[in-house]
Structure 1
């Protein structure tokens, strides 16, 4: 019998929820599939909850409590997870985070900043402080924890395909410092080289394209219609109207055709790494 993978309940409130769910399930003598059958979900869903790759929902937590005779324990933990999530992310972004966790594919265009799912901690800190330079240290740490926690989605293409098109401005704009930029771009290159993500670059020479007006993230799901998320300064919104999502997807496809190939994009990213490193240590 294969032993279950270890859980770290101290990693986040969601991880603590997952560890408690596993503890209660095993105490009840139930497999993941047996518990899933009791609440009419899949065994995979239970596994994702335990590993904190999927966030708990209030109604489901209540059903799990009933199935496990846990006297509202998981429902109360769900409130803790929700409260922490609202501290970690801007109010307008919380819904998008929930969708991210359930997505099978995420296609993103980034015009100016490295997407949060790919940011190193130092790059993320520089981005957050640029927008809110007087941010309290505790709040900053919560925001960074939230951003780093989101990145657990990256790394398993069987779980999530993440395809990002970066504008060349993302490579050239110095966020934090030249050293931070070199580390950040090298991180993206390593993810692409190990085939954990797909990356393309749209060079300035490509001229005008279909997404000049801003970032977009397109998400598809196993059991729900696709969505689009768009964001500007302090504003973000999820689009679920089918016709609009289709138009957004078409625009994204046009941008991909204007971008460099994956191989050429990786070469361009590494060239930018060298440029930033050279600026740190000029001859």
Structure 2
């Protein structure tokens, strides 16, 4: 007889996740191999998830939701995954991420830092390690942040993919993060992003001055039903806004930002000049 490890959901969120996954599988009469086939994982991997020997990932959680037919529902494994990650993410951010992965259009603006969706692995590590050195997070949380970011980027590779518009303040490409090789790779990634069929990249140059409508991160989402959402951040907290009275003015300002920012061709030329070491 096969010994089945009994899990106590009270041991922690990862154990609770594993217990839920096992219960959902057994309720349908599936073996671990059968669930693995539906999720594109091995039966051994499913076993490791169910017994909390492996923590869940965003990809495995999305796959589980598809297998069980609960994508987008309150009981989804994706939602449970974000709850597990909440400890290493800014307050308010997990809720935004739930919506971001479901959006038809994503509009990004940031100042000083390249937005997470466009960051390379090395660039993200430099930022995470900086937070560790400032005693804001632990090394373990830094590793979680980077791993989570890579999973977040991968989750947006869907059919059809969302339209992604990015307007970056000039400081994003001029502020050095890491050594020259890190920045060169990051700048190359931005050029690669601009060449994708579902993306648009613009730089808001310093010369815009007071015409630049935003001073910090602003993300705008257009959902498939054409509803709008806005995500903004303070130094310590994120906020997801669904009220049209406040989101529509932000959308209007974003369009103004795009109008006054450099064109994509001009923006790419600016980035290429930086890569060559010219001002």
1:165 match: 167
- The CA deviation at 1:154 is 4.3
1:249 match: 251
Instruction: Report the Cα distance in structure 2 between the residues aligned to 1:215 and 1:114, rounded to whole angstroms.
Output: 10
- The CA deviation at 1:6 is 7.6
Q: Answer whether contact 2:105 2:163 (CA < 8 A) is retained.
A: yes
Instruction: Report the Cα distance in structure 1 between the residues aligned to 2:198 and 2:260, rounded to whole angstroms.
Output: 23
**Cα deviation 1:49-93 (Å, max 9, x = unaligned):** 4xxxxxx5434x4xxxxxxxxxxxxxxx56752443314422221
- TM-score normalised according to structure 2 size: 0.72
- The CA deviation at 1:196 is 4.4
Q: Runs ≥4 in structure 1, deviation > 6 angstroms? A: none
1:107 match: 107
1:128 match: 128
**Cα deviation 1:165-207 (Å, max 9, x = unaligned):** 0111111000122221111010111121233421001111222
Q: 1:269 to 1:78 in 2, by over 3 A?
A: closer
2:148 match: 146
Q: 1:156 to 1:250 in 2, by over 3 A?
A: same
- TM-score normalised according to structure 1 size: 0.71
Instruction: Report the Cα distance in structure 1 between the residues aligned to 2:270 and 2:158, rounded to whole angstroms.
Output: 25
1:53 match: none
> Does residue 7 in structure 1 map to residue 46 in structure 2?
no
Aligned length: 230
SS of the residue corresponding to residue 227 of structure 2 reads coil
> Does residue 186 in structure 1 map to residue 188 in structure 2?
yes
SS of the residue corresponding to residue 148 of structure 2 reads helix
Q: 1:18 to 1:201 in 2, by over 3 A?
A: closer
Q: 1:19 to 1:129 in 2, by over 3 A?
A: same
- Matching residue within 186, 194, 197 for 1:195: 197
- CA RMSD across the alignment: 2.8
Instruction: Report the Cα distance in structure 2 between the residues aligned to 1:146 and 1:116, rounded to whole angstroms.
Output: 10
- The CA deviation at 1:105 is 0.5
Instruction: Report the Cα distance in structure 2 between the residues aligned to 1:119 and 1:182, rounded to whole angstroms.
Output: 12
Instruction: Report the Cα distance in structure 1 between the residues aligned to 2:65 and 2:92, rounded to whole angstroms.
Output: 29
Q: Answer whether contact 2:82 2:94 (CA < 8 A) is retained.
A: no
Instruction: Report the Cα distance in structure 1 between the residues aligned to 2:80 and 2:141, rounded to whole angstroms.
Output: 16
